[in-house]
Structure 1
């Protein structure tokens, strides 16, 4: 059984929620910037629109998983751990492909990935391991 009443785990979940909100906010900024650039006549690709939209749409889903984890769901915590590890690698890895997106886009996406890196570290920390001692 998860010991989510632990003060350190509770504080960890508060920080994780803030990081996921930051990830979503930066995703919204990215999509808004793409819209402004398109409106101003600058070249934007469908890749930029789709990726920006998908990453923005993923933020509420991750947030919901964090809420479920904070309520004691090990399965949700495991999913958050996995996503917060894989997504930053995928985001940065794709941004490094030459010519795929402009530098400003890659930088903004990289900033959103940093928020998820924080989630990955916190959810793998000792407080979370202590709160979820057994897999269920």
Structure 2
């Protein structure tokens, strides 16, 4: 395993996960601002915002472990980065569940995870973790 190539990819993966966390913080901050100025917010918006912000450090830790060679962590990062964007977008498309601005912000955060899903499926990383397939 060539550490430099894999480390470079995992560095990018971790940056994307950090971007996902930053987007989560922006979403939660926006919900707080909207609530403080009198716009309606729902428990769904608050809870989901907190959960996504809390998931980011977990994903980052998994990516760090995967970069250190953990196939189990690699598989979890790959699986979560594939399932979460689909779930985020699918839930946001449920009519009346959340306002359009919230769905757009959540959709933007999903793009960061989509990048992780693509990066973790490169031939080099798949070859480095053959048991993860």
Q: What range is the shorter-chain TM-score in? A: over 0.9
With a CA cutoff of 8 Å and minimum separation of 6, indicate the structure with the bigger relative contact order.
1
User: Which position in structure 2 is the counterpart of 1:48?
Assistant: 45
Q: What is the CA deviation profile of residues 86-121 of structure 1, one whole-angstrom value per residue up to 9, with x for unaligned ones?
A: 000000000000000000000000000000000000
User: TM-score, normalising length from structure 2?
Assistant: 0.96
Contact 1:30 1:108 in 2 (8 A): yes
State the shift of 1:32 in Å: 0.1
Give the root-mean-square deviation of aligned CA atoms: 1.0
Distance 1:101 1:116, change over 3 A: same
User: Which position in structure 2 is the counterpart of 1:23?
Assistant: 20
Residue number among 80, 84, 93 corresponding to 1:83 in the alignment:
80
- Structure (1/2) with the larger helix percentage: 2
Contact 1:30 1:109 in 2 (8 A): yes
State the shift of 1:130 in Å: 2.5
User: Which position in structure 1 is the counterpart of 2:114?
Assistant: 117
* Total equivalences in the alignment: 132
Contact 1:12 1:127 in 2 (8 A): no
Where structure 1 has 5 or more consecutive residues not aligned to the other structure, the ranges are none
Where structure 2 has 5 or more consecutive residues not aligned to the other structure, the ranges are none
Check if 1:71 corresponds to 2:68. yes
Q: Report the Cα distance in structure 2 between the residues aligned to 1:13 and 1:4, rounded to whole angstroms.
A: 12
Residue number among 87, 90, 96 corresponding to 1:99 in the alignment:
96
